[in-house]
């Protein structure tokens, strides 16, 4: 417990400063997440996804068309998986830089990346 009122006030002020700093970092993280993108470069296909993992750009080389519809579909899906993994890596890097490597928020992102790695 506190020995005097000054110590209690100092502790509360310190808690408030830490909370304000965390709020500022979370705001920066939101901005970084909103701008995040992921890119997947496969054979003859390049895919870009936005912060939600939705497709925002798709480039298919003419050479891919010789693979037929099913072949092109496989290439697109493979590139989409790579793009989403890249997005999670980018989000993790941004969160780590803004919040620090030991922040609990990073646990979920790391788990998703590990799941991606084992799914391949």
How many CB atoms are located within 10 Å of the residue 111 CB? 11
- Answer yes or no: is pLDDT of 1 > 60: no
Summarised one tens digit per residue, pLDDT across range 42-100 is 989 999 999 999 999 999 999 999 999 999 999 999 999 999 999 999 999 998 999 88
Whether the pTM exceeds 0.75: the reply is yes
Q: What pLDDT does 112 receive?
A: 79
Q: Is 41 or 114 the better-scoring residue by pLDDT?
A: 41
Mean pLDDT, residues 6-12: 87
Going by their DSSP bridges, the two strands 38-42 and 55-60 should be labelled as unpaired
Taking the CA atoms of residue 97, residue 100, residue 102 and residue 105 in that order, the dihedral angle to the nearest 10 degrees is: -70
Is the pLDDT reported for residue 120 higher than 70? no
Phi, psi of 4, rounded to the nearest 5 degrees:
-155, 170
Inform me whether the pLDDT recorded for 116 exceeds 80. Answer: no
Q: Tens digit of pLDDT for each residue in 21-36?
A: 888 988 998 999 999 9
């Amino acid at each position: 417990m506190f020995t005097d009122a000054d110590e209690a006030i100092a502790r509360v002020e310190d808690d408030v400063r830490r909370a304000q700093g965390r709020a500022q970092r979370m705001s920066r993280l939101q901005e970084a997440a909103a701008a995040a993108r992921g890119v997947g470069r496969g054979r003859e296909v390049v895919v870009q996804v936005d912060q939600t993992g939705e497709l925002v750009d798709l480039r298919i080389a003419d050479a891919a068309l010789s693979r037929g519809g099913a072949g092109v579909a496989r290439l697109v899906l493979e590139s989409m998986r790579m793009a989403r993994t890249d997005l999670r890596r980018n989000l993790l890097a941004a969160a780590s830089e803004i919040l620090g490597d030991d922040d609990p928020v990073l646990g979920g992102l790391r788990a998703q990346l590990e799941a991606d790695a084992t799914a391949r």
